Chains A and B, each alone.
Chain A
Amino acid sequence: MAAQSPYFFVGGAHAMFPDSTASSAGVLTVGLERLGRHTSSRIEASMAQLTGGSDAVQLAGQTSALWELGSPHLAAGFTANGFAHHFATTWSGLVTAGPALVHAGAVTTVLDLDVGAGRRVDGTSLGLMRGTVHLRRDVSDHVALEVSAGATDATTVRYADASAATILDLEPVVFGVRAGVRGGDLAGPPWWQVHAEWHLAPWVSLEAAGGTYPPDLSGFTSGRFASLGLRVSMAGVRPRITPSADRVTAPTVHAVARTHDSVEVNVRFAHASSLAIAGDWNGWTPTPLRRIADDRWTATLPLHPGVYSYSLLADGARWVLPEGSSGLPDGFGGQVGVLVVRPTRN
Chain B
Amino acid sequence: MRRRAALLIVAAALVLGGGTARAQEPQIRAELLRRGADQPFADSASALVSATVGQGLPGRPLVNKALEGLAKHVDEARILVVMRGLATNLMRGRDALLASGMSAPTGDLVAAAGEAFSRGMDVADVRDVVRAAPSARAAASGLVVASSLAASGIARRDAVEAVAHAYRSGRSVADVLEMPSAAAALVARGVDMTDVTRRLLEDRDLQDAAHAAGGAGTVAQPPTDHPTSQSGGRHGGPGH
A residues 195-222 touching B (CB-CB < 8 Å): 195, 207, 209-211, 213-214, 216-218, 220-221
Determine if A146 and B31 form an interchain contact, defined as CB atoms under 8 angstroms apart: no
| Total A-B residue contacts, Cβ distance less than 8 Å | 261
Question: Taking the nearest CB of chain B, how far is it from the CB of A140, in angstroms?
Answer: 5
- Number of A interface residues in the complex (CB < 8 A): 117
A193/B220 contact (C-beta < 8 A), A140-B208, A141-B215, A342-B174 known: no
The residue in B63, B72, B144, B191 that gathers the most chain A C-beta atoms within 10 A of its C-beta is: B72
Indicate with 1 or 0, residue by residue over A222-266, a CB within 8 angstroms of chain B CB atoms. 010111010000000000111111100111001010000000000
**Identity of the chain B residue whose Cβ is nearest the Cβ of A229 in the assembled complex:** B232
Determine if A331 and B221 form an interchain contact, defined as CB atoms under 8 angstroms apart: no
A15/B239 contact (C-beta < 8 A), A246-B217, A280-B64 known: yes
Determine if B181 and A227 form an interchain contact, defined as CB atoms under 8 angstroms apart: no
Chain A residues, CB < 8 A from B223: 79, 110, 112, 114, 130, 132, 134, 148, 150
Determine if A134 and B221 form an interchain contact, defined as CB atoms under 8 angstroms apart: yes
Determine if B225 and A217 form an interchain contact, defined as CB atoms under 8 angstroms apart: yes
Determine if A328 and B148 form an interchain contact, defined as CB atoms under 8 angstroms apart: yes
Identify A241's interface contact among B68, B70, B71, B222, CB under 8 A: B222
Determine if A283 and B31 form an interchain contact, defined as CB atoms under 8 angstroms apart: yes
Judge whether B54 is part of the interface by a CB distance below 8 angstroms. no
Determine if A211 and B233 form an interchain contact, defined as CB atoms under 8 angstroms apart: yes
Chain A residues, CB < 8 A from B152: 326
The residue in A13, A112, A140, A241 that gathers the most chain B C-beta atoms within 10 A of its C-beta is: A13
Judge whether B169 is part of the interface by a CB distance below 8 angstroms. no
Chain B residues, CB < 8 A from A11: 232
Question: Taking the nearest CB of chain A, how far is it from the CB of B223, in angstroms?
Answer: 4
Determine if A25 and B64 form an interchain contact, defined as CB atoms under 8 angstroms apart: no
Identify B238's interface contact among A87, A211, A278, CB under 8 A: A87
Determine if A251 and B213 form an interchain contact, defined as CB atoms under 8 angstroms apart: yes
A144/B218 contact (C-beta < 8 A), A180-B227, A328-B151, A338-B144 known: yes
A–B complex contacts, Cβ < 8 Å, 18 sampled = A14-B236, A15-B240, A17-B240, A25-B235, A105-B189, A141-B211, A146-B220, A161-B227, A178-B227, A178-B230, A225-B236, A227-B231, A249-B216, A280-B64, A305-B177, A307-B145, A309-B68, A325-B184
